[in-house]
A and B are shown apart, each in its own frame.
Chain A
């Protein structure tokens, strides 16, 4: 992309194609006003509406269960062999809510404010406020389902602190909060399956969106056991397919997490917003070898009691226990005295990178810092620490062979979450009418950086408490006579295209495996579109990714055939889409000439190395439209009427 194009982009004004449909009125009253005015769908009519929910994580399972409970006819799809295995299950630390049970000063406003500030003022005020408002209902709902949250001795719910907040508002179930919340939603979904109101289709991958007369009408899936392509018609499609962190190959995402469903929607006309906003989580187990298939997160909650440090002297190679207190640099506590080890994720990750870049990294690869529990164990006793983090300590020991009760953990940042995603309005509707996007798959709510324990909150807010209302607004406006059947030509054409892509992959018979391409793409993105980015590196990424794409279609080798269980065929299709997405991520990062949240441009930092935002030119959402040539940028200008964007400081 040339400089000329980049410059002209920042001068764009608000795109008329991006109407966020934020209700009028005071921030605190918008959601109530919306609910007061939204059209309702007659119960008898709900039964005749078919809703397709793609994905069964927190967003998908909660949406499918809730909509079925309301009377809609729901089909739910998941890529795993069971809805219970969606990747939300791996979330460890907790879920935020503004309950203020600890009486430490929390309010809905504060949760809203912390989330907007944590997102570095790159999210939409009205969406974030609504998220904070419904946060409390989520906790009530989960407890009623039997989610075994941690309790105090008196029988009330316990809370802990998380990064980016000065109150304790995080609810948790040991280090398995995502698992327990997902099982709650999965069980609610199972209830509806048993009642015959949800048809569950596991081991299905969405390969394309069917659009006719400018509306989403259905999807094409592949049955991952038989290989058969299937058509599913629906009055609305809810995309709940998670984030695109696996573009980097090594990430904390599950092996099957991918962007294909969202990318196919992008190619059918849904705008992709802020693809450059990726979250690098500061506390992951470091890479150990080139066979590595994924990275494992160690929950942010560990930073409540763990202290992060490196040796002051880069040549100090003593064992960590042998390094005396005065030879250690607790660099987060030193640089950020008021938040200390609990600074937000983007800040903590960059700080770790800075130490390692300066040669003070530890361990075999020198790409790690210590996370030390010694002080906490001495203060609280190891049984308290075991209560809080026992399963995480075990997991760490299993992977590394080291015992964190005796020696500090070694940690390093890794790709964890993507704030970018398909653009949606206040109703969670994309730029394709009838296509709604929930949870991590949309770009909403977290701006340029997500706070810990807010992903679970957003997924469940979208599914349990937002979409049941906003979907009604769309359904009330469509007529049954307009729906199309699965024999419609749009289905035929879309299915043929999906089949042709599969044939092309299988018939290529090259000499490189899908995983080889995935690793190369991941390395490119990590080096140039990772924790720190700059103009030259991003331009190089755009051109290297283009060559990689050409090479992919020349040399890809996919074993086996299309009519059977074939993991490598699945991977190959997803990698082809990741390569295209990677290019858009780099282009978006190139255009955003500022540093904000997870997007750090080397050119835009102050003398202390802190991010420098540019609110005058970049207080916007960058939404990209697919065209046959290059992607076209549309801007949603963000206006802050209730908070005043300041320099984010955690000092």
Chain B
């Protein structure tokens, strides 16, 4: 049978980007080891509604680790202590009865706080819009098997394409850099013949946009890879830099 747990939470509460926030203490006494971390927050929120208090706002959607909506700092680590796991898939069996857990939003200059644990990650969309695509209109594609792609290249491209855009890499980075996110898209497309046509201009446009959004640069801490729920490799950042230099000098 599932164990019952009491969990103490210290949660960041902030009403708006302008008002100052603070950590507030709560206790959930009917947690279960089989619960996900977000279900623990659900239970807390039901408790808060019943006591006419204000529930904690947080983003979440698929709750199976693929949409990238959720993401908070759990005990100081983006998405919490379990590696390669988004916080929606983190389960309470990773904690002990009586633990006190601090929960904060992903913090970065380029991710303004909306409310409580909710942040604005729209800068990521603007980085993709800068050139995170292959310029191909609907209907103009050749037969799907017209260009062979080696299994290794397809697999490696998939490793980078697996990025869920959650922003954990930014939150973990001492520089608040979005290098891992940006590199993942640049590499995914650069590894495939369809993406190679625009590879240089893509790298330049996306890196420039990243900088314009207020993200920092990479100084090789590799904290991003450690917290990435999809295990995206920092090797992509080195390739991104080469592509960027190549693009800048070939302009």
Measured CB to CB, the closest approach of chain A to B29, in angstroms, equals 13
A81 lies within 8 A of B120 (CB): yes
Q: B192 an interface residue at 8 Å Cβ cutoff?
A: yes
Measured CB to CB, the closest approach of chain B to A511, in angstroms, equals 8
A90 lies within 8 A of B145 (CB): no
- Chain A: which residue is nearest B1 at the CB level? A364
Measured CB to CB, the closest approach of chain A to B219, in angstroms, equals 27
A255 lies within 8 A of B61 (CB): yes
Question: Interface majority SS on B: helix, strand, loop or mixed?
Answer: loop
Stretch of B33-41, B102-110, B241-249 at the chain-chain interface: B33-41
Q: What's the Cα separation between A84 and B241 when bound, in Å?
A: 25
Q: B175 an interface residue at 8 Å Cβ cutoff?
A: no
Q: A614 an interface residue at 8 Å Cβ cutoff?
A: no
B114 lies within 8 A of A565 (CB): yes
Chain A 59-71 per-residue mask, 1 if CB under 8 angstroms from chain B, else 0? 0001001100100
Stretch of B131-139, B210-218, B220-228, B232-240 at the chain-chain interface: B131-139
Chain B 3-39 per-residue mask, 1 if CB under 8 angstroms from chain A, else 0? 0000000000001100000000000000010111011
B62 lies within 8 A of A254 (CB): yes
Q: Which of B2, B128, B144, B154 contacts A150 (CB 8 A)?
A: B154
Measured CB to CB, the closest approach of chain A to B242, in angstroms, equals 19
- Chain B: which residue is nearest A515 at the CB level? B46
Q: A183 an interface residue at 8 Å Cβ cutoff?
A: yes
A81 lies within 8 A of B55 (CB): no
Q: Which of B42, B54, B82 contacts A291 (CB 8 A)?
A: B42
Q: What's the Cα separation between A155 and B153 when bound, in Å?
A: 9
Q: Which of A84, A155, A187, A193 contacts B68 (CB 8 A)?
A: A84
Q: B66 an interface residue at 8 Å Cβ cutoff?
A: yes
B133 lies within 8 A of A187 (CB): yes
Q: What's the Cα separation between A260 and B154 when bound, in Å?
A: 39
Give residues of chain B (149-168) contacting chain A, Cβ–Cβ below 8 Å.
149-151, 154-155, 157-158, 161-162, 164-165
- Chain A: which residue is nearest B127 at the CB level? A190
Given contacts A151-B154, A559-B49, contact A190 B1 (CB under 8 A): no
B125 lies within 8 A of A568 (CB): no
B154 lies within 8 A of A83 (CB): no
Q: What's the Cα separation between A139 and B144 when bound, in Å?
A: 6
- List the B side residues contacting A256 at CB < 8 Å: 61
Measured CB to CB, the closest approach of chain B to A402, in angstroms, equals 12
- List the B side residues contacting A154 at CB < 8 Å: 148
A173 lies within 8 A of B158 (CB): yes
Q: What's the Cα separation between A117 and B142 when bound, in Å?
A: 31
Q: What's the Cα separation between A292 and B38 when bound, in Å?
A: 10
B125 lies within 8 A of A84 (CB): yes
B144 lies within 8 A of A188 (CB): no
Q: What's the Cα separation between A364 and B149 when bound, in Å?
A: 47
Q: A288 an interface residue at 8 Å Cβ cutoff?
A: yes
A144 lies within 8 A of B161 (CB): no
- List the A side residues contacting B128 at CB < 8 Å: 84, 186-187, 190
- Chain B: which residue is nearest A252 at the CB level? B64
Give residues of chain A (170-222) contacting chain B, Cβ–Cβ below 8 Å.
173-174, 176, 179-180, 183, 186-188, 190-191, 193-194, 200, 202
Q: B59 an interface residue at 8 Å Cβ cutoff?
A: yes
Measured CB to CB, the closest approach of chain B to A20, in angstroms, equals 26
- List the B side residues contacting A398 at CB < 8 Å: 65, 82, 85, 89, 91
- Chain B: which residue is nearest A66 at the CB level? B138
B134 lies within 8 A of A85 (CB): no
B66 lies within 8 A of A255 (CB): no
Give residues of chain A (515-530) contacting chain B, Cβ–Cβ below 8 Å.
515-516
B135 lies within 8 A of A143 (CB): no
Measured CB to CB, the closest approach of chain A to B150, in angstroms, equals 6
Q: A157 an interface residue at 8 Å Cβ cutoff?
A: yes
B194 lies within 8 A of A90 (CB): no
Measured CB to CB, the closest approach of chain B to A404, in angstroms, equals 15
B134 lies within 8 A of A187 (CB): yes
B148 lies within 8 A of A513 (CB): no
A293 lies within 8 A of B158 (CB): no
Q: A492 an interface residue at 8 Å Cβ cutoff?
A: no
B89 lies within 8 A of A395 (CB): yes
Q: What's the Cα separation between A468 and B147 when bound, in Å?
A: 27
- List the A side residues contacting B63 at CB < 8 Å: 254-255, 293-294, 296
Q: What's the Cα separation between A439 and B50 when bound, in Å?
A: 38
Given contacts A99-B144, A200-B125, A559-B55, contact A399 B66 (CB under 8 A): no
Measured CB to CB, the closest approach of chain A to B197, in angstroms, equals 11
A contacts with B, residue count (CB < 8 A): 81
Q: What's the Cα separation between A179 and B136 when bound, in Å?
A: 19
Give residues of chain A (526-568) contacting chain B, Cβ–Cβ below 8 Å.
557, 559-560, 564-568
- List the A side residues contacting B131 at CB < 8 Å: 194
- List the A side residues contacting B36 at CB < 8 Å: 293, 399
B35 lies within 8 A of A80 (CB): no
A155 lies within 8 A of B151 (CB): yes
Q: Which of A82, A155, A193, A559 contacts B121 (CB 8 A)?
A: A82
- Chain B: which residue is nearest A87 at the CB level? B62
Q: Which of B34, B85, B141, B161 contacts A183 (CB 8 A)?
A: B161
- List the B side residues contacting A180 at CB < 8 Å: 158, 161
Q: A464 an interface residue at 8 Å Cβ cutoff?
A: yes
B91 lies within 8 A of A399 (CB): yes
Q: Which of B48, B67, B134, B145 contacts A144 (CB 8 A)?
A: B134
- Chain B: which residue is nearest A561 at the CB level? B54
Q: Which of B32, B66, B143, B155 contacts A289 (CB 8 A)?
A: B32
Given contacts A140-B144, A567-B57, contact A145 B134 (CB under 8 A): yes
- List the A side residues contacting B122 at CB < 8 Å: 81-82, 202
Instruction: List the 8 closest A-B pairs by CB distance, nearest first.
Output: A155-B148, A144-B141, A187-B133, A140-B141, A66-B138, A148-B157, A254-B61, A148-B158
Give 30 A-B contacts (CB < 8 Å), ordered by A residue: A80-B67, A81-B121, A146-B134, A146-B157, A148-B158, A149-B154, A151-B154, A153-B150, A155-B148, A155-B150, A155-B151, A174-B162, A179-B66, A187-B132, A187-B133, A193-B129, A194-B131, A200-B125, A202-B122, A292-B39, A293-B36, A294-B64, A297-B64, A398-B65, A398-B85, A399-B91, A559-B49, A559-B52, A565-B114, A567-B57
Further 9 A-B residue pairs, CB within 8 A, beyond A82-B68, A187-B132: A82-B165, A145-B194, A148-B154, A148-B157, A179-B162, A187-B133, A190-B125, A190-B129, A255-B63
- Interface residues of chain B, those whose CB is within 8 Å of chain A, are 1-2, 15-16, 32, 34-36, 38-39, 42-43, 45-46, 48-50, 52-55, 57, 59-69, 82, 84-85, 89, 91, 93, 114-115, 118, 120-122, 124-125, 128-145, 147-151, 154-155, 157-158, 161-162, 164-165, 188-189, 192, 194-195
- Interface residues of chain A, those whose CB is within 8 Å of chain B, are 62, 65-66, 69, 80-85, 87, 89-90, 99, 101, 137, 139-146, 148-157, 173-174, 176, 179-180, 183, 186-188, 190-191, 193-194, 200, 202, 225, 254-256, 288-289, 291-294, 296-297, 364, 394-395, 398-399, 401, 464-465, 468, 513, 515-516, 557, 559-560, 564-568
